[in-house]
Structure 1
Amino acid sequence: MDFSMIWLFIITAVTLLIIPGPAVLYIMARSMDQGKKAGLVSVLGVALGGSVHVFAGAIGVSAILMTSEIAFSIVKYLGVAYLIYLGCKTLFSPAKSTTSEIPQAPRKKVGTIFYESALVEVMNPKTALFFLAFFPQFISPSAGSVSGQFLLLGAIFIALALVSDGLYAVLAASIRKRMKVNATVQNRITGYLYIALAVFSAFASQSKI
């Protein structure tokens, strides 16, 4: 895999990860309610759940490429369409205000928090769809094993998510109720990022096949 594409993937992934999503809000809720330890355990659980989707996606994308490169191209362009859909949906969705968006999480044992965090992420089809839409845009069948490239990107994404989510957990535990998330700004930034990624992918995909 081209190192320039890996760096582009890292930059794009970091940009997307710093915008708080549902998983981050859940992690923040745990940290605010039960402290830093509970928040960090939630981070590990979400990472484990995400890893399951990475392995499943690697198997699925590899199987698609074995069918034909045309099928792989179709998957990539369907990914572009899905990213545009996510961007438009985010841009036009009504924004709810600040800390009221952070769910109230009942106090639970650390083991239960880890198990539930992982299970929620595994059972979230949006995570699987996002990985299948996002990762193939940076994969080139001519660069070697597609499943290997998918796993590499997945490992990078999970590692970056661990750092990003962990920082949110620590920050939330430190400032508690004073943390505020501007939902309107969040929606706009996230929406434009999805659309920009989709536009880039539409022009770059053909050259990478």
Structure 2
Amino acid sequence: MIIETHQLLLFIAAGWLLNLTPGPDVLYIVTHALRSGARAGLVAGLGITAGCFVHVAAAAVGVGALLSASATAFTVLKWVGAAYLLWMGVRMLLSRPGGGNGAAIAAAQSATPVVVSLRSVFLGGFWTNVLNPKVALFFLAFVPQFIAAGTGNKALAFVLLGVLFNVNAIPVNAGWALAAAWMSRRVGAVQRGLHWLDRVAGAMFIGFGLKLALTDRPAS
């Protein structure tokens, strides 16, 4: 079994919450939707999702190599991943209302609407995601925690869970794009909502970081 049922439900729920969390991807989607309409926001989300598939494929190869490498290599990556998740969690918990993405969304809302090429919007989202090393580190730190210990082909299991994570992200990204019109009229409320979402997701990041730090090297 690749993943147990209760772990699968937790994985899906965590994926939805993490995709709802404000970040560069959400900011890219929302700013394009505010400036050029919902269609541009939807295309931006699809570009970001396409970029995530590249990270899933690359990380799956890395996971397969890691599990056949030394215990030292596993330990190094484990602690790097745990430190990254903990850092993200603490930063979210300490974020201030009205700052960060909230301020950027407010600025996008006040900008003059512009007509853009949907192709350029898609490619922009794709390359912005592909060239972000933090995305690759996130997949390496997050996904392996949900793979059952007795799974034979862990690289394949990683790919399947990565695909599930990305597919689940599509409706969330679409929701951000379609909600941009509402946001443009209620930026203050959005900033407060994003702040509390940061706190919830921050606590989750810290939990996963601690869980990863306490994880033993799986059998190859």
TM-score, structure 1 as length reference? 0.86
Tell me how far apart the structure 2 counterparts of residues 107 and 100 of structure 1 sit (CA, whole Å): 23
1:42 touches 1:114 (CA, 8 Å); kept in 2? yes
Matching residue of 1:178: 186
| AA of the residue aligned to 1:123 | L
In the alignment, is residue 195 of structure 1 matched against residue 195 of structure 2?
A: no
Matching residue of 1:11: 13
Tell me how far apart the structure 1 counterparts of residues 72 and 60 of structure 2 sit (CA, whole Å): 18
Give runs of aligned pairs for residues 1-209 of structure 1, distance below 5 A.
1-4=2-5, 5-68=7-70, 71-72=73-74, 74-97=76-99, 99-102=102-105, 104=108, 107-140=115-148, 142-174=150-182, 176-179=184-187, 180-182=190-192, 183-203=194-214, 205-206=215-216
Q: Rate the CA distance shift 1:2–1:186 in 2: closer, same or farther, 3 A.
A: closer
Tell me how far apart the structure 1 counterparts of residues 149 and 115 of structure 2 sit (CA, whole Å): 47
Which range moved further: 78-87 or 114-123? Answer: 78-87
- How far did 1:146 drift? 1.3
- How far did 1:153 drift? 1.1
1:57 touches 1:131 (CA, 8 Å); kept in 2? yes
Tell me how far apart the structure 2 counterparts of residues 60 and 176 of structure 1 sit (CA, whole Å): 41
TM-score, structure 2 as length reference? 0.82
- How far did 1:23 drift? 0.8
**How many percent of aligned residue pairs carry the same amino acid?**
35
Cα root mean square deviation, aligned: 2.5
Which digits, 9 at most, give the CA deviation of each residue in 1:151-184, with x for residues without a partner? 0111011011111111111111355342422253
Q: Look up the SS of the partner of 1:47 in the other structure.
A: helix
Tell me how far apart the structure 1 counterparts of residues 77 and 148 of structure 2 sit (CA, whole Å): 13
Where structure 2 has 5 or more consecutive residues not aligned to the other structure, the ranges are none
1:24 touches 1:168 (CA, 8 Å); kept in 2? yes
Q: Rate the CA distance shift 1:188–1:175 in 2: closer, same or farther, 3 A.
A: closer
| AA of the residue aligned to 1:152 | L
Q: Rate the CA distance shift 1:157–1:31 in 2: closer, same or farther, 3 A.
A: same
Larger helix share, 1 or 2: 1
1:38 touches 1:110 (CA, 8 Å); kept in 2? yes
Q: Rate the CA distance shift 1:90–1:147 in 2: closer, same or farther, 3 A.
A: same
